[in-house]
Amino acid sequence: MTHLSSSLLAAKSAAPLPGRRSPFVRWLQANAGRHPAALALLGPRGEWRYDELASLAERGGHHLRAQGLAAGDAVAIAAGGSELALAAIACATARVALLPLDPLLAEAAWPRLQALAGGRLQRLSRLPDCRDPSFAPCPPLAAARERRPLTEAADASSADAASDLALLIATSGSEGAPKVVMLSEANIDAAAAASNERLPLRLGDVWLACLPLHHIAGIAILGRCLRAAATLLLHEGFSAAAVWEDLHARRVTHLSLVPAMLARLLDAAKGAPPPSSLRHALIGGAALSRPLFERALASGWPICPSWGMSESAAQAATLPRPDGDWQVGEVGHLLSGLQARVTADGRLFLRGAQVMAGYLNPDWRRGDGLADGWLPTGDRGRIGADGRLTILGRVDEMLISGGVNVHPIEVESCLAACPGVVDVAVTAVSDPVWGDLLVALVVGPAALGELHDWSRQHLVAAKRPRRVLRLDALPRNAIGKLDRRGLRALAQAGACAHEGMGE
């Protein structure tokens, strides 16, 4: 791959933009001065040293300014991989908030997102290639020239308050309608610092990112690497074979995966351990089952179960390298600067420097979705005497079977250990006797009798699935989370084609 010379980039770039600098820009400029030749970003479309990336960020920021965008504005961009990473640092330079869009869903989601933003979002199809020596800023956006105020009564102080927003992240909407999380520069700074403390990241380290950058779990890795002067190795999409190859070829030290990706990597490795350079494999996004944990542990993978969300700027708790006593849902201690409490109904509340500024709303008001600074998460949890956190599942996924509260994760973890079960999910259909009649959706060759016997041995009656549906694969989203609505629809549609589990 060819590099653009840093001298050419510096000659083409304009003077630094005035005013307060975002964390991305501070880290980039510091690294460009201290470690100019260190590799910052490596992806399918090129590679950039820290001095080159700092110059590209500056030029991209001036491009946004030339289009009429100013600090406090927000742009939405549908892109992936290196293009989105470059857009993120350009927006940081211009101090314009970035809403990264899933390219596959952008068109359908745009009207709802713009309504949430009160019409203030600007949409860019893409940024021009600032690496091109003939680069010149595009003409101003018409929408930017006619920028709408924050509210009808907005004043200068309101606009200034909005100028510290760094990222807008669309959530998956697991509880009701999807929302957009507002993350400030302070949120990003605190989250990167806390993550790099828990899973030490330093100059010369390589973090392989195969999660989409339009998800918080993906783009958060960019901040961690910039803060530590480490290398971000981007994969556009997940391929177990490609990840396995790069783990060896690039001496990767850190890796982020969802459990479904981990399972496919273990298949690709065929029992072989990962290279010794890999120190941390961060596992999150969905519940890690005990059988998958045992399989990874037996192969020598340095897995780190974690818990987080868009509202906490990704990682909020992590358990580095658990031993064989690990139990499903254990995610270790909260990261530095975070506090948690559990209410009587088991819901987890979270507070701290990396907790969001609020949910996006037409007035861009701060604190929407928070209660005195506390975030009511959608998860149930337990905090041990030693401060360790255990996640017990989603609040909105609780089922009531025969008058007994049943969480799908509890039943799924049990069934996953049954021989012949490759993947499993549990949902319910309405029933006049049971209320929620439990349905297991199973991938794998396990016989019905084996499932029945296993359930009777390990689960009380109210927690045993009464029906089984066979699937080739479970419905999951882009980062491996189960589509719970899709599961229920499959269970209802397959009500006449199920296998009964008996009593």
Q: What average pLDDT does range 394-412 have in this prediction?
A: 85
Measured distance CA(324)–CA(35) in Å, rounded = 40
Among 140, 155, 183, the domain-final residue is: 183
Q: Among the three residues 128, 150, 183, which one is the final residue of a domain in this structure?
A: 183
Rounded distance between C-alpha atoms, residue 464 and residue 451, angstroms: 10
Q: Is the confidence at residue 128, as pLDDT, over 60?
A: no
Report which of 70, 352, 55 is spatially closest to residue 195, judged by C-alpha positions: 352
Per-residue model confidence as pLDDT tens digits over 382-399: 999 999 999 998 888 888
Is the separation of the CB atoms in 372 and 351 below 8 Å? no
Q: Give, in degrees to the nearest 5, the angle at Cα 246 between 240 and 250.
A: 160
- Token readout for 345 is 């109904």
Task: Look at residue 443 and tell me whether its pLDDT is greater than 80.
Answer: yes
Q: Give me the mean pLDDT over the 188-200 stretch.
A: 98
Summarised one tens digit per residue, pLDDT across range 20-68 is 689 999 999 999 999 999 999 999 888 999 999 999 999 999 989 988 8
Beta carbons of 49 and 242 less than 8 angstroms apart: no
pLDDT for residue 117 is more than 90: yes
How many Cβ atoms sit within 10 Å of the Cβ of residue 132?
10
Q: Is 331 among the domain residues?
A: no
C-alpha closest to that of 348 among 387, 378, 328, 316: 378
Residue 495 domain-assigned? yes
CB count within 10 Å of CB 242 equals 15
**Are the beta carbons of 455 and 501 closer than 8 angstroms?**
yes
Per-residue pLDDT reduced to its tens digit, 168-181:
999 865 445 679 99
- What is the percent of the chain with per-residue pLDDT over 90, rounded to a whole number? 65
Note the Cα 105 to chain centre separation in Å: 17
pLDDT at position 410, please?
Answer: 85
Q: For the chain, what is the total number of helices (H) and then of strands (E)?
A: 15, 25
Q: Contact at 8 Å (CB) between 439 and 411?
A: no
369 or 3, which is more confident: 369
**Complete DSSP assignment for 97-159:** EEEEE-TTTHHHHHHHHHHHTTT-EEEES----TTSTT--PPPPPHHHHTPPPSSTT--HHHH
**pLDDT at site 174:** 45
In 3D space, the residue among 34, 30, 40, 37 whose CA is nearest the CA of residue 231 turns out to be 40
Can you tell me the distance from the alpha carbon of 359 to that of 339, in angstroms, rounded to the nearest whole number? 20
* Contact present, 366 and 375 (Cβ < 8 Å): no
Spatial separation of the C-alpha atoms in residues 30 and 344, rounded to whole Å: 47
Task: Give the other-Cβ count within 10 Å of 154's Cβ.
Answer: 15
CA angle, 42 then 215 then 336, to 5°: 90
Q: 69 lies in a domain?
A: yes
SS3 338: strand
* 435: enclosing H helix or E strand: strand 435-443
Of 183, 206, 228, the one marking the end of a domain is 183
In this predicted model, which residue has the larger pLDDT, 81 or 200? 200
How is 148-159 classified by DSSP, letter by letter?
Answer: PPSSTT--HHHH
Kindly state the tokens that stand for 495.
Answer: 């009500």
Q: What CATH number has the domain bearing residue 467? A: 3.30.300.30
Residue 9: its pLDDT value, please? Answer: 30
Containing domain of residue 457, as a range? 398-500
Starting at the earlier edge strand, list the strands of the sheet with 358-359: 121-124, 74-78, 97-101, 165-170, 180-184, 358-359
Q: What percent of the chain has pLDDT over 70?
A: 85
In a domain, 171, yes or no: yes
Rounded CA-CA distance 446/442 in Å is: 8
Instruction: Give residue 132's pLDDT band: very low, low, confident or very high (50, 70, 90).
Output: low
Identify the band that residue 432 occupies on the pLDDT scale cut at 50, 70 and 90: confident
The mean predicted confidence, pLDDT, of the chain is: 86
The total of other beta-carbon atoms located within 10 Å of residue 472's CB is 6
Rounded-to-integer distance, Cα 415 and Cα 464, Å: 10
pLDDT for 158 equals: 41
Burial class of residue 108 (count of CB atoms within 10 Å of its CB; 0-12, 13-18, 19+): exposed
Q: Is the predicted pLDDT of residue 145 greater than 70, yes or no?
A: no
Residue 3: count other Cβ atoms within 10 Å of its Cβ. Answer: 12
Model pLDDT, residue 417: 87
| 211 domain residue, yes or no | no
- The Cα 440–Cα 426 span in angstroms is 5
Q: What is the CATH number of the domain that holds 129?
A: 3.40.50.980
Q: Is 140 a residue whose pLDDT tops 70? A: no
Burial class (CB in 10 A: 0-12, 13-18, 19+), 61: buried
Instruction: Name the amino acid, one letter, at 170.
Output: A
Provide the number of structural domains found in the chain: 2
At residue 5, the pLDDT reads 28
Q: What confidence category does residue 498 fall into, taking pLDDT thresholds of 50, 70 and 90?
A: low
pLDDT for the residue 123: 92
Tokens 């100013």, located at residue: 70
Task: Give the bridge partners for 467, in sequence order.
Answer: 439, 500
Task: Please report whether residue 98 resides in a domain.
Answer: yes
Residue 255 belongs to a domain: no
Torsion of CA 113, 118, 120, 126, to 10 degrees: 10
The residue with greater pLDDT, 398 or 470, is 470
Tell me whether residue 421 is in a domain.
Answer: yes
* pLDDT tops 70 at residue 497: no
- Bridge partners (DSSP) of residue 240 are none
DSSP summary character for residue 272: P
pLDDT at 404 over 90: no
- Per-residue pLDDT, 127: 65
Q: Is 298 left (phi over 0), alpha (psi -120 to 50) or beta?
A: alpha
Q: What is the mean pLDDT of residues 330-350?
A: 96
Mean local confidence (pLDDT), 446-457: 92
Closest CA to 95 of 169, 21, 16, 5: 21
Distances (CA, A) of 369 to 169, 373, 375: 14, 9, 7
Mean pLDDT within 237-255: 96
CA dihedral 26, 93, 205, 79 (to 10 degrees): 160
Q: In 3D, which of 420, 419, 412 has the Cα closest to residue 482?
A: 412
